[in-house]
Amino acid sequence: MKNVLIINGHQRYDQFAEGNLTNSLITEAEDFLKKNGFHVKHSIVQSEYEIKEELEKFKWANSFLFQYPVYWAGLPWLTKKYIDEVFSSGEKTVTYTDDGRSRFDTSKKYGSGGLMKDKSYMLSMTYNCPISEFDNKDGFWEGQSLDQVNIATHKTFKFCGANQLKSHALHDVYKGDLVLENAVANFRDTLKKNFLSN
């Protein structure tokens, strides 16, 4: 697990979402990984990218760290576009062979045709939503956990066979009292669990 692809899933909105927090977390992740002997490559969804080059990065990587802000309860649309374009183009080569089912073998189930079974991924998100709204039956998410709320993104990676690492989220980012040092320390703890404990 020495090759890590860091995907910057930020989509910029002037004076509202400049990307500084995303960039700070990505810089921390890169520093942490390199200090611990990992090789790092980057992808930026809000840039001009070549799909073939992106697929080569996914092929190279043992793990993916996906850093993005949550917009309207999901991925920024440019990030979803990146996944749709790159993952679909990796059919039969990098991401998946087919949906896993077989006309001749009913034991083969939907979603089992992934080609990333030897790879892992980590979701790291930034939220305006406070942490109190998760795992709380009276909260906005009606008792659902962070991972349950982000099930569509998890299932995308599962369809391709990748193994889930511990997710990370930074909450209440617009509240005005964010202490970046504390946020980075918590993020670093999750990186340790995911990349140094295995």
Per-residue pLDDT band for 94 (boundaries 50, 70, 90) equals very high
Q: Partners of 39 in the beta sheet?
A: 3
In this predicted structure, the answer to whether residue 77 has a pLDDT above a threshold of 80 is: yes
What are the DSSP calls for 66-92, one per residue? EEEE-BTTB--HHHHHHHHHHHHHTBT
In this predicted structure, the answer to whether residue 158 has a pLDDT above a threshold of 60 is: yes
In this predicted structure, the answer to whether residue 1 has a pLDDT above a threshold of 60 is: no
Question: Hey, where are the domains in the chain?
Answer: 3-195
For residue 189, the number of C-alpha atoms closer than 13 Å in the C-beta half-sphere is: 9
Mean pLDDT, the chain, rounded, equals 92
CATH superfamily of 3-195: Flavodoxin domain (3.40.50.360)
The CA distance from 7 to 24, in Å, is 13
Could you give the percent of the chain with pLDDT greater than 90? 77
Query: Average pLDDT for residues 1-15, to the nearest whole number?
Result: 87
User: What pLDDT sits at residue 30?
Assistant: 97
Q: Partners of 4 in the beta sheet?
A: 40, 63
Phi, psi of 43 (to 5 degrees): -135, 145
pLDDT in tens, 26-57: 999 999 999 999 999 999 999 999 999 999 99
